[in-house]
Copies of this chain bind each other. A is one copy, B any other.
Amino acid sequence: MIIAVDAAGGDHYPHHPVEGSLLALKENDSIQIILLGPKEMVREELDKHEYDKQRVHIQNAPEVIEMSESPSQAVKGKKKSSIVMGLSMHAAGKCDAFISTGNTGALLAASTFILGKLEGIIRPTIATYYPTVKGFRLLVDAGANLELKPEMFSQFGTMGSVYSHEVMGIDEPKVALLNVGEEREKGTECLRKAFDELSKLPNFIGNVEGRDILPGKADVYVCDGVVGNILLKFGESIPDALKVLVQSAVKKSNIDPEQAKQLLYILNSAVSEFNYENVGGIPFLGVAGVSMVGHGGSNPTAIKNMVLNAATCAEANVNDKIIASLN
């Protein structure tokens, strides 16, 4: 299993991608890594670590796509970037997956363009891991597609189902449509048609509301990219907001500084899953390959998890199972 890793993307390259990749090697013996980025930069970073040289390769990719660059221009203009080269290698069968914490728009564009769409898929999507009291569940779409045709909701439900079962280890994933009420007739015309399309899935449990996400009523929450993106970013902001609210509640209480410190420590660990730096990447679903993107701020542990998830995804033939489920 060969995983290509973008060593020139995200807020902390090459440090975090390199360190995360090496951590993954220690956890999964069957993985090899190709690090893509300006050769000297990657080499220099690698030299700071002890690692098995048989399992780590460098692919020189001298051009760097910045986080703020226009996705389509970057993909067209920078053929020698880690993103374009990594995905091209994957398309040519030289590796089994590609992961990056770089420019999400560029990654989506390049993944769709270079890998192509899976047979029958209208539009690829980005799914995101969402923290719930039951652990991570899946929210699809997280911002790739803002306006959906009704059939896209059911394709997202199918792809989310297969992914959550094969990669997240959820036994019998339940798919739900995020809506403004539980009844079938709720929502816009598009949402009502989406309900009908989703009803064709054997594991569709119907509409759920905003209050049903955190308790984990379903395993795959389907919505358009506007709702998904706003919810994703809202969730990411919860830990910091809580810290402020709890600190002000602590001030009003009469507990001593030592207790307050312990309280904040426990709170932090309780909401650690909301912290995007810990989430191990999220998949592009519906492309003919395995391509995952992580938050720009991802720490080495998150990148390690991305590598492991990408390997699981490739090993489990998620795409073949998606095609089978669609038919």
Q: Which residues of A contact B (CB under 8 A)?
A: 132-133, 143, 146-147, 178-180, 187-188, 191, 209-215, 223, 225-227, 229-238, 240-242, 244-246, 248-250, 252-253, 255, 259, 262-263, 265-267, 269-271
| Distance of A249 Cα from B233 Cα, bound (Å) | 24
**B234 near A180 (CB under 8 angstroms)?**
no
A279 to chain B, nearest CB (A): 15
Q: Out of B178, B231, B266, which one reaches A249, CB within 8 Å?
A: B266
The quantity of this chain's copies bound in the complex is: 2
Given known pairs A146-B187, A188-B147, the reply for A252 and B269 (CB within 8 Å) is yes
Given known pairs A147-B188, A242-B270, A255-B266, the reply for A180 and B211 (CB within 8 Å) is no
**A209 near B187 (CB under 8 angstroms)?**
no
Q: Report whether over half of chain A's contact residues are helix, strand or loop; otherwise say mixed.
A: helix
A153 to chain B, nearest CB (A): 13
**A270 near B249 (CB under 8 angstroms)?**
yes
**B237 near A211 (CB under 8 angstroms)?**
yes
Please list 10 pairs of residues, one from A and one from B, whose beta carbons are closer than 8 Å in the complex, sorted by A's number.
Answer: A209-B230, A211-B233, A213-B234, A214-B237, A214-B238, A226-B227, A238-B238, A250-B266, A255-B262, A263-B266
A211 to chain B, nearest CB (A): 4
Given known pairs A210-B233, A266-B249, A270-B242, the reply for A180 and B133 (CB within 8 Å) is no
Closest B residue by C-beta to A234: B210
Closest B residue by C-beta to A259: B259
Q: Out of B226, B245, B259, B267, which one reaches A191, CB within 8 Å?
A: B226
| Distance of A66 Cα from B166 Cα, bound (Å) | 45
Closest B residue by C-beta to A253: B266
Given known pairs A214-B238, A234-B210, the reply for A246 and B226 (CB within 8 Å) is no
| Distance of A232 Cα from B210 Cα, bound (Å) | 7
A163 to chain B, nearest CB (A): 22
A205 to chain B, nearest CB (A): 17
Given known pairs A133-B245, A253-B266, A270-B248, the reply for A143 and B233 (CB within 8 Å) is no
Instruction: Report B-chain residues with C-beta under 8 Å of the C-beta of A191.
Output: 226
